Structure formats: structure tokens, C-alpha cells
Structure 1
Amino acid sequence: MENLTEPSLGPVGTVQGETPALRMIALLELITSRDQLFTLQSLVDQTGIPKPTLHRMLQQLENANLITRHSDGRHYATGSRMRRLAEDTLLNDTRNGARNAILRDLVEQVGESCNITALSGNEVIYLDRVETPEPIRVHLGPGSRVPAHCSASGKMIVSQFGVAQRERLWENGRLKRFTAHTITEYSALDHELARIRQQGYAVDQQEYIDGLVCISVLVPNASGRSNMCVAVQAPIMRKRASDLEELLPLLQRAAEDIARIEDLNDDSELEASGW
């Protein structure tokens, strides 16, 4: 794989905890906050933890499938068990009720199916969805997955990534064609992502399912980068892409409302923990 050179990891992070288990969790938090592969030495430089201690911690995380080692034997990344943990947390979050209420209100306003999504690997996972009452609709319930390269939400989230992260995302195979509209050339997809990054929303122009269009925006995040989207989906017989673009103010308002729910719950959790 090309471009394994790590960019600067930024300010020194801390891996603190009263017990070994809590320090291990703190290390995982640091690892998952980065968008690049990492080496043992880079983490030593980042955390100040002695190399033998850090090596032992990484071995334990690798044995538990929470992180995985790259084929070069030096670089690490998050593992399958860590990704499943993140997905299960999002799918079973107690905030789902409040988010679902916002989705229901959005469906009433726009008359089409709406969903909340997140990126998992190179797929988009549906965290929540409210269907339109219209008889003609596509059923994609919570837990459903669609390829990121041909979904509005997937393209929206990936548009935030740097070149190296995008290369890692697509490295496992070609961009599969699902319809005549699917983008299957990497250069064309990069051009599309640049446009999405500039305009602040993404559109699926029948790229995954013939006759289905979708528009998506990010749920704002204080960190500056988000892994959650709100989207509106409709059959082409009722809405064109241009019709969906007219709904952007409603979609953006719903995304901001969801962001406030996330912030309020985070504040409540900090108060409960004594911070």
C-alpha cells in the first residue's frame, strides 16, 4: 500500500487512568481519534509511555481484535471488534428516541423517508429511519448497510477525509457498479467529493438504486469532523435531485437539532461523572 508515512500526530496526548483497564481505554480513545495508521514509535512519541509498556498494551489490544496490524508488520489500525463496538453503541444509544422524534417531524415536513446514518468501514450503516406514508418507498431499516461510494451520506462523510484516508478506504477493491449512474472511477469520485466538500451537502443521483434519489448533510460536531448524517430519500417519480435541494434548510435544521441532543447528553454524562 502507498503513502503509509504518518503525518504529524499533533499535540502530545495523555493516556491516564486509575487502573490498567482505564489506561487501556484511554489508549483506545487516542487511537480512534486519529484518521491514520500508526506505529509503536509514533504512539511512544505521542503519549510518553515507555516503549515496552506500550508494546505490551498494543499486543493485548491486538489479541482482543480491538486493533489490527497492517501487512507491513509495523502499522496498526482499529480492528473489527472495535468497529462492531462503535456500531452497536450508535444503534442502541438511548438518545435514539429523541433523534427519532426529530426524524418523524422531518418526514411530516418533507413527505419522504428520512434517515440518520454513520460510516463503518467502506459502508454506510443506517442508525435510524422513518418511512414516508406514501405507498411507493424503499425499505431500509436500522442496521441496513449500503456502499459508501454510491450513497449521499457516504460521500458526505468521506468528503471530510484526506487523500491517505480515502486511499485506505477504497484499497480493498474496485468501486462496484450498481446502476448506470454509479461512480466507479476513483478520479471522478475524488472530483465529486471535492464538490461536496465545497457545497456542504451530497446527492445520490440514482447511484445505488435505479429510480431513487437522496440528499444528505452532516450533523455538526464540535470536533470539526462528523461521522453522522441526516438524509432525505425519495423515488424519482415524486422528487428530482433539484427538488431535494430545495429541502436543504429543513434538513440542516434537523441536523442542528440532533447535534444539540448529542451536546446535551454529553453535558449530562459529564455532570453525572462529577466533572
Structure 2
Amino acid sequence: MTTPRMDTRSIEGDTPAQRLLALLEVIADKGQYFTLQSLVDETGLPKPTLHRMLQQLENSGMLQREADNRHYCMGSRLRRLAENLLLNDTVQGARHAVLAELVREVGESCNITALSGSEVLYLDRVETSAPLRFYLHPGSRVPAHCSASGKLFLAQLGATQRRRLLAEMPLEKFTRNTITDLESLEEEVALVKSNGFAFDDEEFLPGLLCIAVLAPNPTGVSNIGLAIQAPVMRMDRERALACLPVLERAAAAIARINQGALPEATADENTEVSG
């Protein structure tokens, strides 16, 4: 049986460095040694191109060859990079702990999000143990106009910025509740800005209700949202609003974690430069 080829776009990039990083992503998915020919078969790239890229990664210590001189495996530098990432990723660990505690308190799935272009990106998520739930894993993306977090992000934008973004966004209709009219969406965004929280009332997925707030940012705009999601048979707007205080406490905790991760300002950064 012939092994299906991976889409060659997986190792495309605008620069050689980007293409090397994309190749590393392909290699990182492997649970066994590999050869040059196996990568050629998998990616469809020319053998000379891949050979040159593998040599660069080997010379930098990211990869190493096994005793047979044909098979490659992870190099000591790449392993050390992975270990250091896991060791030092205390911000993600702390935020995940807050998220897990929020799920324990409210009994429903919760997620941390950020605005990425015109979409809401799921940075982290903890699922409820309840048997009926919606699976939206980290890395998932949802259009901003039908997301509770997305409405909050839109509400932070200036009117000109928001109009520019919405003018290019296809306001796709996912359910009967999806807001697809610009004037109606502007009214919804104004309400969200006034309330400080937002709902997704079956606007992206039928049967799913969501309430979200932003992690406050004392220096200005926040790009971190925190949301509770639940099936409508277990949560309506009234019950969601009852969860709002604990949701806001969790958002404040995440804001403190984010603020604590910022490097202290240096004297030069705090000194105003006069003309």
C-alpha cells in the first residue's frame, strides 16, 4: 500500500527560516526515526531540497543521525529546547489551573481565547465531566461576530477599526440566531460594551450558550477572553448571569498572572526623552 502524501503546503514559507521551522513541525509529529526518502515520500518536496534542509538542522544540533547514517532522530539541542519550553511555561500552567478551578466551580466547559484577525482563537480549554458537551479543542477558531468573546474584542475597537474589519468579514449565518446584519451587530456590540460581558446564544452552534468576559488589562486593550460554554438544556441566560461573579474573579486572576509575567520596566523605558 502506498503511503499518502502530506500536503506540501505544510512546509511552505516565505523565507528559508520559515520553511525550516515548518519542516521541524512535521518532524516533531513523528514518534520514530525517519529517513530522507521517507520525508520525500511524505511531503513531496525534491530530495536535494530536503537533503539541504536536513543538513542545516543536523549542523545546528536540532537533528542527529543514527549509527546506520541513514536514519534521523531528534538532536540534543531540539530536546533541550522542548524541555526548557515545558519547564519555563509557568504562565500557561498557572492560567490552566485557574481555568480548571473555574470548571470545577461552575460545572461547565470553559476556555481562554484571543482575537486573531477576524476570528477568535481558543488558547486553552477545560472540558466538563458532564456527559453532554461540545468539543472545541485549543487551536479551534470561531468567527468573531458569532462568539461571545468575539463581541467583546469587537467592542474594544474604535468605530473606524471595527467598520474596517467588519466590512471585510463575511458575516456567515451558522444558526437562526446568528447576527448577520451590520447595523444589528453594531447595536449588539454597543450593548456588550455597556454591560462588560457578552452572550453567544446559540449563534455559532445550535444548542450551545456561552457567556464571556475579558481579562482586564490595566494598561489598555485586553486580548484575553474567558468564557463558559454549556448546552442550553443545562444553562440559560439567567443561570449564566449567576455564574458571572465567579467568571469575573477568574478573569481577574488570569489578568494578574499575565501582568506578573511582564518584565519589569528598565530605567531607560521609564525615562521620558525630551527634545
* TM-score, normalised with respect to structure 1: 0.63
Q: Distance in 2 between matches of 1:101 and 1:273?
A: 34
* Mapping for residues 194-273 of structure 1, pairs under 5 Å: 194-266=190-262, 269-270=263-264
Q: Distance in 2 between matches of 1:203 and 1:155?
A: 8
CA distance 1:184–1:93, change in 2 (3 Å): farther
TM-aligned CA deviation for residue 273 of structure 1: 11
The match for 2:84 is none
- Give the 3-state SS of the residue equivalent to 1:156 in structure 2: helix
- Give the 3-state SS of the residue equivalent to 1:270 in structure 2: coil
Q: Distance in 2 between matches of 1:120 and 1:230?
A: 15
The one-letter code matched in structure 1 to 2:91 is R
1:169 is the counterpart of 2:150: no
Identity %: 52
The match for 2:40 is none
1:147 is the counterpart of 2:143: yes
CA distance 1:206–1:98, change in 2 (3 Å): same
TM-aligned CA deviation for residue 258 of structure 1: 0.4
1:115 is the counterpart of 2:123: no
CA distance 1:148–1:173, change in 2 (3 Å): closer
Gaps of 5+ in 2: 1-87, 270-275
The match for 2:125 is 129
The match for 1:181 is 177
TM-aligned CA deviation for residue 170 of structure 1: 1.6
Report if aligned partners of 2:107, 2:128 keep a CA contact under 8 Å in 1. Answer: yes
Report if aligned partners of 2:102, 2:110 keep a CA contact under 8 Å in 1. Answer: yes
Count, aligned residues: 183
Report if aligned partners of 2:152, 2:193 keep a CA contact under 8 Å in 1. Answer: yes
Q: Distance in 2 between matches of 1:274 and 1:261?
A: 25
1:95 is the counterpart of 2:80: no
TM-aligned CA deviation for residue 271 of structure 1: 7.7
TM-aligned CA deviation for residue 160 of structure 1: 1.1
TM-aligned CA deviation for residue 239 of structure 1: 0.5
CA distance 1:93–1:141, change in 2 (3 Å): farther
Q: Distance in 2 between matches of 1:104 and 1:211?
A: 23
Q: Deviations over 1:207-266 (max 9, x none)?
A: 000000000001000222111111000000111122111100000000000011111111
Gaps of 5+ in 1: 1-91
TM-aligned CA deviation for residue 166 of structure 1: 0.8
The one-letter code matched in structure 2 to 1:161 is L
Q: Deviations over 1:60-91 (max 9, x none)?
A: xxxxxxxxxxxxxxxxxxxxxxxxxxxxxxxx
TM-aligned CA deviation for residue 171 of structure 1: 2.2
Q: Deviations over 1:139-169 (max 9, x none)?
A: 1111100000000000011111111111121
Q: Deviations over 1:47-71 (max 9, x none)?
A: xxxxxxxxxxxxxxxxxxxxxxxxx
